[in-house]
Amino acid sequence: MYVLRRFPFKNVLIWTKKEILFFFILSTSITILFELLNIKWLQVPLTPVGLIGTAVAFMIGFQNNAAYDRIWEARKIWGGIVNTSRTLIITVRDSFYLHNPENKKDEKEILKMITNRHIAWLTALRYAMRTKKTWEASYEKLSKKEAFQYNVPEYNSPLEKEIEDYLSKEELEYVMSNDNKPNAIIGLQSKHFRKLTDEKKIWDFTLLNLQQMLQELTALQGKSERIKNFPYPKQYGSIGYHFVHIFMWLLPMAIIPSFANMGLDIAETNPFIGRYFVWLNIPFTVVVIWVFNTMLRVGLAGENPFEGSPNDVPISNIARGITRDILQLVEEDSKNIPEPFENKNDIQM
């Protein structure tokens, strides 16, 4: 799918250029059969086709609304992750007991450990969201169809390599042995908070607040997994696809006779234009079919907001943005703060 975050009209044309060529060949072929080969029976009434077009428009509108709802819900979920992540680190940073200045070094190490563990959770979650499902498009096949390249960070390196710098060796082995790796990291974080409370390093009431934040993060993770693991009902997507194609094949046979009759009327005052007026149906037919087909493709492109297509919620960029924010909150050396991901051709992933 050829989709930019900034989507000028020319990119819409490039995105659908193969379909436009097919629609042109289809409408031209039927016009040749009707006009040059004199196959006049190759026509249908315009009114029934118009009714079909109305039904198709309603169906595609419903599909697009449902797809947009999935995308928008996914974006709200990750917006919640942004807010809760910042609040979590700020709360931990400002919740230590201050018995004497000697504790400052220990507190900084603990804060860094918690921050790194949360970065590992963010990384594991975005990797989980990029895991391929059978109903999603193949990234390899999709990238070959693109007019240019775009970058999906989760497909460039394994998860273990990405989180090994943020977890201890024991924690890394434990996390990688679990099926749900983000959930395992949340569990480690919860145990650590409890340990700090038992050691009287953080306030008892702070533990309750931290547990509530972990509960919120777990809920947001579950909501994200719900969208990832439950596909858009295929009966709706398939019906819309078939309806558009039925309409696409019937439309030329309905428009061509209308243009032919208009040409007969025009021929009374301008014989030359009237004689060839029927051929003007081709651009009109192509435009109408193209509009319906593009609306269908927009809906199909938004069904799975985490699969790794240019239309997805940019969870890689969001997670990296959170990482940079919380590392700056704990006053990490700027040399150790990762740079934002490269967005090839203005496509955020």
How do residues 279-295 score in pLDDT, each as one tens digit? 888 889 999 999 888 88
- CA pair distance 285, 255, nearest whole angstrom: 7
| Distance set, CA 134 to CA 80, 138, 224, 229, 343 (Å) | 28, 9, 18, 10, 27
Could you tell me where the DSSP H helices lie in 46-155?
A: 46-93, 103-130, 139-145
- CA pair distance 317, 321, nearest whole angstrom: 6
- CA pair distance 62, 241, nearest whole angstrom: 13
Q: Which two tokens stand for residue 124?
A: 């594991």
Q: Work out the mean pLDDT of the chain and round it to a whole number.
A: 82
Domain residue extents for the chain = 9-346
Burial of 91 per CB tally in 10 Å (0-12, 13-18, 19+): middle
Spell out the residues 6+ positions from residue 226 whose beta carbon is closer than 8 angstroms to its own.
none
- pLDDT > 70: percent of the chain: 87
Global pTM exceeds 0.75: yes
Query: pLDDT per residue over 294-339, tens digit each?
Result: 888 877 777 788 877 777 788 888 988 998 999 898 888 888 888 8
**pLDDT band, residue 5 (cuts 50/70/90):** very low
* Axis crossing angle, helix 46-93 with helix 234-267, rounded to the nearest 10: 140
**pLDDT band, residue 158 (cuts 50/70/90):** confident
CB atoms within 10 A of CB 99: 9
In the predicted model, is pLDDT for residue 97 greater than 70? no
